[in-house]
Amino acid sequence: MNEIIPAVLVESEREFERRLRLVEHEVETIQVDILDGTMFGRMSYHDARAIGAMKTDVAFELHLMVENPLAVAESWKEHVPTFKRAIFHAELDRSHEPIIKGLKELGLEVGMGLNPETPINEAHHDLASLGELLLMTVHPGASGQGLGDHAHGLEAEELFNKIAHIHKKYPTIILGADGGIDLSTISRFKDAGISRFCIGSAIFDADAPLEIIHSLKKAVL
């Protein structure tokens, strides 16, 4: 089933809760972007204890753009009752098996993020253990960049081709996409094989965010 997943990347507790309350009754899952400066040089707000105290029924998934994803996941599992899925990055320069094993032992669904420039063979040996592959269509670290990874010379068409290739090669794995998704591009993502659409600025920077969510949902029916 196709799913619209609002992605929250903020710097304060106040803004986090504002965004949470805005969308919590409109979607099944919210993605929280976790940055601690170790992978991509930027920090984001992700205080598990404070977020757990906000009390919500919406499920959370974490996009763990950090060198130590297990430590963050353990804190969230302790404090946030609706935390269900953790997505770590293929670019971590060590064995992924202990990370996957540790996340599963916490009772979590496990996904892997793949940067635009990273070839699918970097994740090949892990795919059988994963519930999702999250394909980045911008370079991680900031929202509102627009589709494409210009630092690595990757334009939108190349990224759509990459998604379609992965979907054809691994048709049974759930594919998510993160970056540059809006009403003008979402159909291309769907046609390429995406079923989970992680969307930040197109929702939260809109004048009427809830109307945008409803329109995005209709676009992927």
H or E element in which residue 217 lies? helix 209-219
Task: Please give the tally of structural domains in the chain.
Answer: 1
What pLDDT sits at residue 150?
66
- For residue 68, the enclosing domain spans 3-219
Question: What average pLDDT does the chain have?
Answer: 94
pTM: 0.95
Q: Please list the ranges in the chain whose pLDDT falls under 50.
A: none
Q: What pLDDT, on the 0 to 100 scale, is given for residue 147? A: 72
Helical spans, DSSP H, in 117-208 = 156-169, 186-192, 201-204
- Per-residue burial over 181-218, b if 16 or more Cβ lie within 10 Å, else e, is bbeebbebbbebbbbbbbbbbbbbeeeebeebbeebbe
Encoded amino acid at 29, one letter? T
Q: What is the pLDDT of residue 53?
A: 98
CATH number for position 117: 3.20.20.70
What pLDDT digit, counting tens, does each position of 138-185 carry? 877 555 556 766 666 678 899 999 999 999 999 999 999 999 999 999
Write the pLDDT tens digit of every residue in 56-69: 999 999 999 999 99
- Identify which of 138, 131, 112, 132 has the alpha carbon closest to the alpha carbon of residue 123: 112
